[in-house]
């Protein structure tokens, strides 16, 4: 694991890395993405390893069909196929929610009073669309009152060079995402924008450091193009 934290009251959350696992070649390690060209058997074995590591049955590990949108779904564990969305919420104990990333920002949220937990995949499109804000609103509609979030490793602003018009478009939704790269060219800091949106929604934030492009232990699409996916995971036992 890159980072794992037991919050108390049965709540655990964290982020995987690529260490260990059954995948080989450009996916070498604990690739959890089934849509990136890796051998399906290797991905299934990796997901089983993750489920065992966090002490849940593999069918209680909930993954999404992520589309870089702002869709939010509520799950109960009865779903037979991965929901199409970029954020997932549950009140069910023993259900582990996971989002897959390889540069995008994974966000894990919880409210101990209501028992609600959520996981969000926030890339550049999701930041612009406000997927994190929509998730917070959905949690509050379901009864959450004291939400906390942890923001996981992602590509940093120094490493995420973009065209200037793209930077301006995204920064209109989250001004703190506006930055420059190592070489002084236009760039985006998606995680900073996510933190800004969480703070604006009065959510307490913890930010786990780590740049995917700079850290070999993390998968990075921007660095490698053909690569695997790591996960942000939250579960309340």
Band of residue 108 on the pLDDT scale cut at 50, 70, 90: very high
List, in order of start, the domains of the chain with CATH numbers: 3-236 (3.60.140.10)
Q: Percent of the chain beyond pLDDT 90?
A: 98
pLDDT of residue 1: 86
Which two tokens mark 58? 């593999």
Q: How far is CA 21 from CA 38, 54, 152, in A?
A: 12, 15, 20
Query: What's the pTM value of the predicted model, to 2 decimals?
Result: 0.97
pLDDT of residue 172: 96
pLDDT of residue 115: 96
pLDDT of residue 186: 98
pLDDT (tens digit, 9 = 90+) per residue, 164-206? 999 999 999 999 999 999 999 999 999 999 999 999 999 999 9
pLDDT of residue 160: 98
pLDDT (tens digit, 9 = 90+) per residue, 4-46? 999 998 999 999 999 999 999 999 999 999 999 999 999 999 9
pLDDT at position 99 over 90: yes
Mean pLDDT of the chain: 97
pLDDT of residue 29: 98
């Amino acid at each position: 694991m890159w980072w794992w934290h037991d919050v108390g009251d049965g709540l655990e959350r964290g982020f995987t890395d690529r260490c260990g696992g059954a995948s080989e070649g450009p996916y070498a390690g604990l690739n959890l993405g089934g849509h990136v060209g890796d051998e399906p058997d290797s991905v299934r074995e990796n997901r089983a390893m993750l489920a065992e590591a966090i002490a849940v049955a593999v069918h209680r590990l909930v993954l999404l069909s992520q589309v870089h949108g702002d869709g939010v779904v509520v799950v109960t564990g009865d779903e037979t196929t991965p929901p199409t969305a970029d954020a997932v919420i549950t009140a069910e104990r023993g259900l582990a929610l996971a989002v897959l990333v390889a540069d995008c920002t994974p966000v894990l949220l919880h409210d101990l009073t209501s028992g609600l937990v959520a996981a969000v995949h926030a890339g550049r499109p999701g930041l612009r669309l406000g997927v994190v804000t929509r998730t917070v609103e959905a949690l509050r509609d379901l009864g959450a009152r004291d939400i906390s979030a942890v923001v996981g490793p992602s590509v940093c602003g120094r490493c995420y060079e973009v065209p200037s018009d793209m930077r301006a478009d995204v920064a209109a939704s989250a001004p703190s995402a506006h930055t420059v790269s190592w070489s002084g060219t236009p760039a985006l800091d998606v995680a900073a924008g996510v933190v800004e949106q969480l703070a604006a929604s009065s959510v307490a934030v913890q930010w786990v450091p780590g740049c995917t492009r700079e850290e070999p232990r993390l998968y990075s699409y921007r660095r490698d193009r053909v690569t695997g996916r790591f996960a942000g995971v939250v579960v309340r036992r």
